[in-house]
Amino acid sequence: MATGVKKGSEDDSGEFAEFMADISHEIAKRVESLDPTPKSRPAQRKQATPVPDAGVIAEWDNVADRMIEEMG
């Protein structure tokens, strides 16, 4: 993995900035892949029942959630 030798006078001002950009990207990837804390799943979008019929629980998902909570 050889690279060409760059003259010091060229583009020196951006050297640290470029380094930081690369390293930041590397760290972001690494900490994400190693993170020991369980990832919270993105909340699933609950589909609203379009037109509730009589006797049908419209907000069934919410009711089920509450039941599970109460049982827990």
Nearest-angstrom CA–CA distance, 49 and 43? 18
Interaction of residue 38 with another protein, rule CB under 8 A: no
Closest CA to 52 of 38, 62, 41: 62
Residue by residue, DSSP assigns 30-44 as HHHHH--SPPPPPPP
Interaction of residue 34 with another protein, rule CB under 8 A: yes
Taking contact as CB under 8 A, which single stretch among the options 9-17, 39-47, 52-60, 63-71 is the one that binds another protein? Answer: 9-17
Nearer to another protein, 4 or 42 (CB): 4
Interaction of residue 65 with another protein, rule CB under 8 A: no
